[in-house]
Amino acid sequence: MPDTPGSLHRAAEIIKKYEGNINRIQYDRRIDPATVFYEVTTSEKAFRKITADLSAIGYLQTSLKPLNFLKCCIYLPHQPGALYEFLNFTTSVGANIAFIDFDDKGRHPDRLTVSLNLDQASVVDHLLDLLKSRYRLEILEYDTTGKHLDDTVFYFRYAQAIRELIGESEEEFLLSFLADTNHIVQELMDRGNDPRKVFDSVLLTGETMGATTQEKFYADVQKFDITQQSTLFCFQMPCGGNIFLIDTPEEKVMIDTGYGIYHHDVMSMLSRYGLGDEQQVSRIVVTHADADHCGAAGYFTAPVFMHHETLSIIKKNNRAYGSRSEHSVLEEFYTKMINLFSKFTTPTGIQCFPEPAGAMRGIFPVMGTVRIGDLELEVLEGLGGHMRGQVYLYSQKAGLLFAADSVINFSSLTKERADYSSLAAFLVTSVNVDSDLARKERKALLELASETDSALITTGRRCLICGGHGAVSVPEGNSLVTYGEIECYQSHEA
């Protein structure tokens, strides 16, 4: 839309003409002076007419193909009308001037420096032919990737950055993603946040994941002998949640899978620790539906066990589904964004835990048990504080509590992991869909762990709290303390 008086009015008039209802509008010339987002409710027939009329006046954005960027120096004759004649050429080919600089009292009194954004490479060639036939000309930059566009076409630049994260995508998908991003920008601006920080946080989320794969992949590893026949491994990923693996002579059971983007790196790591490949994992237990806990489950052929509400959240693609935050645009966008960037793979062979039959463990209903070798774990149903469908695994006898994202030893997180986690907290304002319930769950889980630890400590053993992030820890008063040795795995070692 042109940055001129009456432009918004003209678009609104077209929408009103066909009885469209404007549900949302967002425009901020500080972000992009030429882009306005409308969300409109109307009939299919009216929608076609509205878009046709907007397209006819050049308002409708239907493509995000990178613009061509040209920066050059033009040596103009020192005479009246020289700039006017030059601008005739740029206007005739539809070039948008992003930067222009000329001063006849400067060091180069006859040189005009100009930056132009143009739709097609053929237009650039035509313009250069026109200019070279008339002026002395020096090309300073010519870019067709969109990397050198300035902020007058911010959303083109942003779309190009998204392409670099996810690969080439359909124009319709990118336009929809930009509209969704703009919606959370609008929401967070209303809460007093800087829009540039929102855009940067979205990109940084994807960039950080991509920058910690392959040869840059690493993990912090802990190993514990739980019983004579079962060994527990904890793998802290560079970004996102932990992966746990219980190794027994009969089978290997994985608890949470990490992001899909890390899957091949994780398999190399498991091989390094003598734990085999995808085929060696006999079962997977998913504690909840966040992508950093179940996003790689689709890579395995093993059956995947989860709460039925976790399955619903995966199907709805909204981490807040079923909670009081269900209609939050922040939660819905974050789920779509993180699943996209992290290469979420939908699991197959899903088996849902049975409904609780009345037994309780403290405030948590018991959904059944999972036997792994000589280890038996109760499946406890969460209350829905972090998200609906979250489950915990507990063994009083073995002193094990898999607390998912309800209990985390934050002091054990490296700065890099803490910084990454803060991106999610900023974009959704709280990682918990119900903070009151989350506090209640955490208190009850810590009490359960402390009681178990007190009963075991005389035997020389401890209750291991296996949080969804950070190091495996033990309770010490009101704090959590990292337990055991931590080894750093680097991918180049594999």
Cα torsion 16, 20, 22, 23 to 10°: value is 160
Which range in 98-107, 127-136, 340-349 is most confidently predicted, on average pLDDT? 340-349
Tens digits of residue pLDDT in 280-337? 999 999 999 999 999 999 999 999 999 999 999 999 999 999 999 999 999 999 999 9
DSSP-derived pairing of the beta strands 68-75 and 375-381: unpaired
Q: How confident is the model at residue 147 (pLDDT cuts 50, 70, 90)?
A: low
pLDDT at 408: 97
What phi and psi, each to the nearest 5 degrees, are found at residue 247?
-105, 125
Domain boundaries, the chain: 7-56, 68-143, 156-210, 214-493
38 token code pair: 């409308």
User: Which of 199, 242, 260 lies closest to 423, judged by CA?
Assistant: 199
Is residue 241 pLDDT above 80, yes or no?
yes
pLDDT at 494: 44
pLDDT at 477: 86
Tens digits of residue pLDDT in 464-492? 999 999 999 999 988 999 999 999 999 87
Is residue 148 pLDDT above 60, yes or no?
no
pLDDT at 34: 82
Fold identical between 68-143 and 214-493?
Answer: no
pLDDT at 149: 47
> Are the CB atoms for 394 and 463 separated by under 8 Å?
no
pTM, entire model: 0.84
Task: Report the CATH superfamily, name and number, of domain 68-143.
Answer: ACT domain (3.30.70.260)
pLDDT at 19: 95
For residues 336 and 34, the model is more confident at: 336
pLDDT at 151: 54
SS3 of the chain: helix, strand, coil, percent, to 5: 40, 25, 35
Tens digits of residue pLDDT in 411-469? 999 999 999 999 999 999 999 999 999 999 999 999 999 999 999 988 889 999 999 99
Averaged over 215-219, what is the pLDDT? 97
> Are the CB atoms for 212 and 224 separated by under 8 Å?
no
pLDDT at 66: 64
Tens digits of residue pLDDT in 173-201? 888 999 999 999 999 999 999 999 999 99
CB atoms inside a 10 Å sphere around CB 443:
13
Tens digits of residue pLDDT in 359-381? 999 999 999 999 999 999 999 99
pLDDT at 449: 97
Alpha helices per DSSP H over 133-170: 154-166
> Are the CB atoms for 218 and 238 separated by under 8 Å?
yes
287 token code pair: 């504690």
Query: Could you confirm whether domain 214-493 is CATH 3.60.15.10?
Result: yes
Averaged over 63-74, what is the pLDDT? 77
For residues 278 and 9, the model is more confident at: 9
